[in-house]
Structure 1
Amino acid sequence: MGLVSIPRTPREITPVLRLLLIAWLLACGAAVSARDYRYSDAHLHYVDFFQESEGMDRLFKAMNAAGAEHVMLAGIPVAKKWHEDEPKRPRYYAGDDAGVYWYSATDVLVAAAVKQLPPERRRRVHPFLSGFNPADKNADAHVRRMLELDPGLWQGLGEVFTRHDDLTALTYGDIPRANNEAMTRIYHLAAEYDLPVMVHSNITSKRERNPLYLAEIEAPLRNHPHVRFIWAHAGTSMELHRHQEKLAFLRPTLERLLADYPNLYIDLSWTLLRPYLLDKEGAPDPHWLALVERYPERFMLGSDLVGSFGNLGEHLRAFEPFLDALPAKVAQRVARDNFLAILPGKQGL
């Protein structure tokens, strides 16, 4: 191999060569500092509110493109009704005033899809059982039957829909709460089977500028210390942000809860990205960075996609400015490892 002659004095470095050297140094610096994140998507729904899905091939194509090595896979515990008086089928649960009803077959759909996977794909998928009515004290008996029907298949429970924006008002039957007696029975079952539980429980209403409903999630945290709780979106939602751009009390509340309850884990899915983790200019918030660094094992990422997976990479990569501002080891925990660490047997680690 021949040697390349490099100019040794400033006069020998032409302007063009100087630009090339600068570009080369910048490229080298970028290569050294860039992080190649591997992800676990801690919050993804295999089906939508009509129990339809793009299917496993589309899911794995999206996972591979996004660098998502593992995914939590849940159904949707309710189905949207196409009302007799509606001329057009709604596209989302909030598309019209028709209600939604509890739909246990969602878990049958998830289980059937998972069982058909070859071993190398199946190890990357972590099914959560969600198709039960959390306002029914019979729910724990149903969940137990489902766990016994497919031993070892289910690795968690949820996303359990309790207080959930306008979906709450649209749901037929009694309204569930995260601290009701039916859910208490579910938590005891989760502890028995060592299963984490993901709960959607809004922290407040559209117009109250205080943690109005905090007791509904805090009581289970306090009363069931042996259950690992994943709080979906930390109690936030896009609907809340339409009325209140930012919940000023959210971060201080999380600071206290994380200190008081070592069984609390936070799903940093899309409604937390802005305006909390990143500001309007896309810069990471230093207070949230400090909070994640203080509890590096308690945060995880989720896309919260429902039945359609083409945007998976876009959703996960949107967190990279925040991850890049964290220490590398902490960032990789948040991006991938923390979700796997709370599964039974820490599957995937």
Structure 2
Amino acid sequence: MFPFRTSLAALLLALAIPGEARDYRYSDAHLHYVDFFQESDGMQALLQAMDKGGIDHVMISGIPVAKKWHEDEPKRPRYYAGDDAGAYWYSATDVLVAAAVKQLPDQQRKRFHPFLSGFNPNDKNSDAHIRRMLELDPGLWQGIGEVFTRHDDLTALIDGDTPRANNEAMSRIYHLAAEYDLPVLLHSNITSKRERNPLFLQEIEEPLRNHPHVRFIWAHAGSSMEIHRHQTKLDFLLPTLERLLADYPNLYIDLSWSVLEPYLLDADGKPDRRWLALVERHPERFMLGSDVVGRFDGLGDYLSTYRPFLDALPEPVAHKVARDNFLAVLPRKPGNAAAQ
């Protein structure tokens, strides 16, 4: 999730780059309407932030878990990492998202692309639950996720076993996603805080190989700020992505905030040439996301921090990354395949 404080240095750099300015319109490919307490600034605040930030479209989802306020804690935590209390799977998050989207007039509603997230990825009943939700609102849901599997310290706080992107319960969900032509946004860390190797790579690669008809969006390209706190930078991330993107045409990369630094931009705030080359080789496979959680102040500022990287790309590619690639990964027909 996006930290409480945006990188001010990156923001100032983005606003100070000289030269001919490009006019970007954005799609936010990773936005949570609620926070870990299932609370939100509300749809009107989100719309105002979108209009101010030049954001035409958003992927909108809930948060699949709720943080517990433990009986022994005198002060309510502000974030899932605020104390040691656990979290639990919370299906009503999708009800909140659906209600917020349905209240909009048709013209505004077209800007929102709801993803289902309120299910337990360890439960082999979850595909049946997702199917019921799809049938309750035919055509409303345009994707599945963000699915929490390997997710830093949050994984240890969630009640139950560790979720994996390659378990049997998720395999059943992938089959359903293919049936309904829905993309799947997966949070699956590529490694742990301490291992300097792609420890969990198999958990994302197996679904890519075994479910070629599913479009997978890999949240944060498998990175996280918590990993960076311990390891600074994963030297193996770029070569791993180069291979995966070449091998699996169903893989798409969400570049939301933990990828911006230290990968897309170097320590001096300059675009990394190797990442630019990767995006240019696969110009339709990358998208931007804010990963905000229920709070929408400065939403456009989060996306504008990518301007130095976008400006270094060929202009047609930059516009695809900023806006069009997310829209292209959505269901190919109005509604979804099973609802036709």
Is TM more than 0.5 here? yes
Q: 1:263 aligns with which of 247, 250, 253?
A: 250
Report the counterpart of residue 125 of structure 1 in structure 2.
112
Q: Which protein, 1 or 2, shows the higher relative CO under an 8 Å CA cutoff with sep ≥ 6?
A: 2
Report the counterpart of residue 108 of structure 1 in structure 2.
95
Structure 2 unaligned spans of 5+: 1-16, 335-340
Aligned to 2:31, the other structure's residue is in SS state coil
Deviation track 1:182-207 (CA, whole Å, cap 9, x = no partner) reads: 00000000000000000000000111
Aligned to 1:54, the other structure's residue is in SS state coil
Report the counterpart of residue 291 of structure 2 in structure 1.
304
In the alignment, does 2:231 pair up with 1:232?
no
Deviation track 1:162-190 (CA, whole Å, cap 9, x = no partner) reads: 01000000000122100000000000000
Q: 1:253 aligns with which of 240, 243, 267?
A: 240
Asked if the contact 2:63–2:93 (Cα under 8 Å) also holds between the matched residues in 1, the reply is yes
In the superposition, relative to structure 1, how do residues 224 and 87 fare at CA in structure 2: closer, same or farther (>3 Å)?
Answer: same
Aligned to 2:85, the other structure's residue is in SS state coil
Report the counterpart of residue 25 of structure 2 in structure 1.
38
Q: Which amino acid aligns with 1:303?
A: S
- Distance in 1 (CA, whole Å) between partners of 2:200 and 2:248 is 17
Aligned to 1:344, the other structure's residue is in SS state coil
- Distance in 1 (CA, whole Å) between partners of 2:18 and 2:177 is 45
In the alignment, does 2:157 pair up with 1:170?
yes
Query: More displaced, 246-255 or 309-318?
Result: 309-318
- Distance in 1 (CA, whole Å) between partners of 2:20 and 2:176 is 45
Report the counterpart of residue 61 of structure 2 in structure 1.
74
Q: How does 1:25-104 map to 2 (within 5 A)?
A: 33-104=20-91
Asked if the contact 1:340–1:346 (Cα under 8 Å) also holds between the matched residues in 2, the reply is no
- Distance in 1 (CA, whole Å) between partners of 2:200 and 2:95 is 32
Asked if the contact 2:181–2:332 (Cα under 8 Å) also holds between the matched residues in 1, the reply is no
| Count of paired positions | 318
Report the counterpart of residue 6 of structure 1 in structure 2.
none
Aligned to 2:275, the other structure's residue is in SS state helix
Report the counterpart of residue 282 of structure 1 in structure 2.
269
Deviation track 1:22-67 (CA, whole Å, cap 9, x = no partner) reads: xxxxxxxx99821000000000000000000000000010001110
Report the counterpart of residue 135 of structure 2 in structure 1.
148
Q: 2:279 aligns with which of 292, 316, 329?
A: 292
Aligned to 1:173, the other structure's residue is in SS state coil
Q: Which amino acid aligns with 1:155?
A: Q
TM-score, normalised by the number of residues in structure 1: 0.90
- Distance in 1 (CA, whole Å) between partners of 2:71 and 2:18 is 59
Report the counterpart of residue 341 of structure 1 in structure 2.
328
In the alignment, does 2:180 pair up with 1:184?
no
The Cα shift of 1:346 comes to: 6.8
- Distance in 2 (CA, whole Å) between partners of 1:73 and 1:41 is 9
Q: 1:209 aligns with which of 196, 205, 217?
A: 196
Deviation track 1:298-342 (CA, whole Å, cap 9, x = no partner) reads: 000000000001121111000000000000000000000000001
Deviation track 1:255-281 (CA, whole Å, cap 9, x = no partner) reads: 000000000000000000000000111
Aligned to 1:44, the other structure's residue is in SS state strand
- Distance in 2 (CA, whole Å) between partners of 1:260 and 1:234 is 16
Structure 1 unaligned spans of 5+: 1-29
- Distance in 2 (CA, whole Å) between partners of 1:60 and 1:32 is 30
Aligned to 2:279, the other structure's residue is in SS state helix
Deviation track 1:74-94 (CA, whole Å, cap 9, x = no partner) reads: 000000000000000000000
- Distance in 2 (CA, whole Å) between partners of 1:79 and 1:86 is 16
